[in-house]
A = this chain, B = another copy of it.
């Protein structure tokens, strides 16, 4: 008994909605031009004993932070560090667990805050495709180049929101103290109150279950209390630094395509025999951003 079963309609219910394309139907009908490859310079592989996590950085929204993360990766800073935190319904975080004798690095120790960026700067990454559905936290929401985006035209500011799978840059109280050496990913309901308080630098495009299903830490804020509870990070690499043959091949749907609008509409208003009420609305963080492996 699946609750999204695709079985034939049965006699016990009324008012069956007309069939509509599902997200899967829209993806199946998509054209090659509806997709873009990941940019190797902004694609980060984190190899864990359990498999590969793939992140895509969004430098238009955090140029200095993305550059510092690349520098950290290229000096192999993350190799041998750990998943150090798993807080239920909130975030999983990785980096150096040793606060007393931290692993040294050559990259910058402080990076200017990129909690928001000017809308005109982010426009370099592509068109803003607005969602018409409204948002509790921001005046406008939508997508740019395969990322969820929030913005405030009155202030001329835009930012990446804390949706599921988004990658944030842990910091101390200093606004410039987030240098990218500790990163976290959202694993629960979007903690949007963190938006504009912390730099968000990209998102996980593959391997999310390797992070989200990590056993929860039992220390304060979900930090692991014992070293053996931490999952080791084998290596972190920039895709551009690997030979073509060693790169994972993934594509992201172009969010400024008509096909993506059809994806959103399929999620906003579902039809068919199972659905009773087509919602008519979609929350920014419920809009799927399709990713597929290239054959």
Does A285 sit within 8 A of B, measured CB to CB? yes
Minimum CB distance partner of A277 in chain B:
B196
Partner of A188, one of B164, B171, B178, B193: B164
A176 and B182 alpha carbons, distance in the complex (Å): 49
Given contacts A12-B174, A189-B164, A212-B88, contact A136 B135 (CB under 8 A): yes
A49 and B270 alpha carbons, distance in the complex (Å): 38
Given contacts A216-B209, A276-B115, A279-B192, contact A173 B8 (CB under 8 A): yes
10 smallest CB-CB distances across A and B, nearest first, come from A3-B170, A12-B174, A209-B216, A13-B175, A196-B277, A193-B279, A164-B189, A88-B209, A173-B273, A136-B283
- Beta-carbon contact of B2 and A193 below 8 Å: no
Given contacts A208-B89, A213-B216, contact A189 B286 (CB under 8 A): yes
Partner of A170, one of B1, B136, B268: B1
- Chain A residue total in the interface (Cβ 8 A): 75
Does A215 sit within 8 A of B, measured CB to CB? yes
Does A248 sit within 8 A of B, measured CB to CB? no
CB neighbours (8 Å) of A273 from chain B are 173
CB neighbours (8 Å) of A187 from chain B are 188
Does A214 sit within 8 A of B, measured CB to CB? yes
Does A177 sit within 8 A of B, measured CB to CB? yes
CB neighbours (8 Å) of A9 from chain B are 173
Does A59 sit within 8 A of B, measured CB to CB? no
Minimum CB distance partner of A186 in chain B:
B189
* Interchain residue pairs with CB less than 8 A apart (15): A1-B172, A1-B181, A3-B178, A3-B184, A3-B198, A10-B173, A89-B164, A115-B277, A134-B136, A164-B188, A164-B189, A189-B283, A192-B283, A193-B267, A209-B216
Residue ranges of A at the interface with B (Cβ–Cβ < 8 Å): 1-5, 7-10, 12-13, 86, 88-89, 93, 95, 99, 110, 113, 115, 133-137, 163-165, 168, 170-178, 181-182, 184, 187-193, 195-198, 208-209, 212-216, 221, 223, 267-268, 270, 273-277, 279, 281-283, 285-286
Partner of A276, one of B165, B196, B214: B196
Minimum CB distance partner of A274 in chain B:
B173
A99 and B5 alpha carbons, distance in the complex (Å): 13
A283 and B192 alpha carbons, distance in the complex (Å): 8
- Beta-carbon contact of B13 and A174 below 8 Å: yes
CB neighbours (8 Å) of A12 from chain B are 110, 174-177
